[in-house]
Amino acid sequence: MNRTCLAVILAAGDSTRMKSSMSKVLHPIAGLPMIAHVMRAVRAAGMRDAVLVVGRDAETVTKAGSIPDMTVSAVLQTERRGTGHAVLMAREAIAKGYDDLLVTYGDVPHVRPETFLEARAKLAEGADLVVIGFHAANPFGYGRLLVENGALIAIREEKDATDEERKVTWCNSGLMVINGARALGWLEKIGNTNAKGEYYLTDIVEIARADGGSVVAIDAPEAELAGCNTRVELALLERMWQDRRRDDIMLSGVTMIAPETVFLSYDTRIEPDVLIEPNVVFGPGVTVEAGAVIHAFSHLEGAHVAKGATVGPFARLRPGANLGEGAKVGNFCEVKKAEIGAGAKVNHLSYIGDAFVGAGSNIGAGTITCNYDGVNKHETRIGDNAFIGSNSALVAPVTIGSGAYIASGSVITDDVPDDALAFGRARQEVKPERARLVRERALALKAAKKQARSPDAKADR
C-alpha cells in the first residue's frame, strides 16, 4: 500500500480491574507482552511510525512496545479525560501529515494485520473514517454501530440507545482509521458535554459526517478484537491464542497427542513430523527440528532440538541447551547452556550445565557437571564416544577425552586423556560379620527406647 500511516496505540489505562502491580498491557500472552503482540500486527500491516500513549509504567510499556524496523515514540497522558483526549496526546505526530491515522489499543493482542489493511484499503477507496466493528454474541455494554444505506451514521452507547437500537449486535471495537488530512481537525472538535465530562473518540463519527466525510464500518471476528480488563479475560485470551497456534502447528504436520495440554510461546518453531506427547511446555526461544520426539511432562526454554532427537519424559531443557541429531535427554534430566552431540545420551536423573558432550557419548544416571563454585561458572568438556559411569561428579573446569571411561561413583577433578580409564573414589573395604553386629546393636537400642515408653516403665517412675 503506497500510503503513509501513523499508528497511535492507547496504552495509558490504570488497569484497575486487573488488580495488578503493573500495567495490563505488560501482561504476557504466550510469553510476549500484550502490547508487543499489537505492535507486531501494526508492523506486519506495513506501518513504520507509531506513537504510544502511555501512563502507568510508562518507561517499561514504551520498551515493550518498541520493535525492530519501526520508529516508536511515546507521549505521557497524565490526566485520564477520555479516548478522544488520549488520541490528541499524539497531536504533534498527527500534524506531520500522514495519509492515514490508525487508532488501536494496547490490550487487543489477537488483532490481525489483515484487519488493519482492510480498513486502510477503504480509505484508499475514498472513505474518510473507517470504524472496525464486530458482531457480538452478547452485545450488552458495547456501543452499537448504526448504519443506513451502507454508511455508518452513529455509534450509540448502551445507556443512550433506544430499545430498538439495543437489538443491534454489530458493536464498536474502538479501533478505527482516519483520513490523515482531516483527522486533526475532527479530533479537535470532540467536546466533553456529557455526564462524565470526558472526550469520547466515538463522537468523531458524527463530527466527520457533519463535515461531509464518508464514514463506513468493516467487520472482524469478535475473538480477534477481544480486549483485556481482568485476569479472567487474560486467561481467556491466552487460551484463544494457544488454541489457534496449536491448530496451525498440527496442520503443518506436527502430531500432538493431547493438544489442549501443550503450551507454546509466541516464537516456538516446530517442524513437520515432530511428535509431542501430553503436558509439554515450550517457553520462549525453542526450535524443534523434524522427526524429534518430545515426551510427556517436559519443559523447554531457549533450546534447540535437532532432527530425530528425543526429550523426556519429565526433562527440562534450559536456555542454551542444544541437542544434536539423534541425541537423547531422558527422564528427570536437566540441561543448561550445554551442547549434546549427535547420538549422545543423557538418560536418567542427570544435570548437564555449562558443558560440551561429544557425539556418541553416554552419560550415566545421576551424573552431575559441578559447574558453579559459588561465584563463577566453569565448563566441562567431554569428547566423542566417552562413557561416564552412573553417579559421577565432574568438577569443572575439567576435560574428559574422547573414548575415555569414567568409573561409576567417581568424583573427577583432573583432566582425563583420550581412551583413559579414570577412578575417583575411595577403595572398597569389606568387614566380615560387621553388618550383623551393627544390626544387633541397632535392634537393642530400638528395644530399649520402646521399653522406656511402656506404661509399666512410666508407673515405676
* pLDDT, tens digit, 9 for 90 and up, residues 261-284: 999 999 999 999 999 999 999 999
pLDDT tens for 319-351 read 999 999 999 999 999 999 999 999 999 999 999
What is the C-alpha separation between 72 and 381, in angstroms, rounded? 45
Question: Contact 147/75 with Cβ under 8 angstroms?
Answer: no
Q: Classify domain 5-225 at the CATH class level.
A: alpha beta
pLDDT at 461: 62
Which of 400, 405, 369 is closest to 387 using CA atoms?
405
Catalytic residue among 27, 37, 295, 348: 348
Q: Is the dihedral of CA 159, 161, 163, 166 positive or negative?
A: negative
* Mean pLDDT value of segment 393-411: 97
Before 284, cis peptide (omega within 30)?
A: no
What is the C-alpha separation between 25 and 12, in angstroms, rounded? 9
* Mean pLDDT value of segment 100-120: 97
What is the C-alpha separation between 8 and 187, in angstroms, rounded? 13
Helix 34-44 to helix 113-124 angle (10° resolution) is 40
How much is the CA Rg of the chain, to the nearest whole Å? 32
pLDDT at 150: 87
Q: Is the dihedral of CA 154, 159, 165, 170 positive or negative?
A: positive
348 has catalytic annotation:
yes
pLDDT at 429: 87
Which of 29, 18, 32, 41 is closest to 238 using CA atoms?
29
Q: What percent of the chain has pLDDT over 70?
A: 99
Beta bridge mates, 9: 52, 104
pLDDT at 158: 86
* Mean pLDDT value of segment 80-84: 90
pTM assigned to the model: 0.88
pLDDT exceeds cutoff 90 at 157: no
pLDDT exceeds cutoff 70 at 195: yes
**Average pLDDT value for the chain:** 94
* Mean pLDDT value of segment 188-214: 91
Of 72-76, 81-85, 231-235, 378-382, the poorest mean pLDDT is in 81-85
Of residues 158 and 230, the one with the higher pLDDT is: 230
pLDDT at 206: 93
Which of 220, 275, 270 is closest to 245 using CA atoms?
270
Q: Classify domain 246-422 at the CATH class level.
A: mainly beta
Domain ranges of the chain: 5-225, 246-422
* Mean pLDDT value of segment 111-124: 97
Question: Contact 225/145 with Cβ under 8 angstroms?
Answer: no
Strands of 341-382, DSSP E: 345-348, 351-357, 362-363, 368-370, 380-382
Query: Which grid cell is 49?
Result: 511510525
Band of residue 459 on the pLDDT scale cut at 50, 70, 90: low
pLDDT at 272: 98
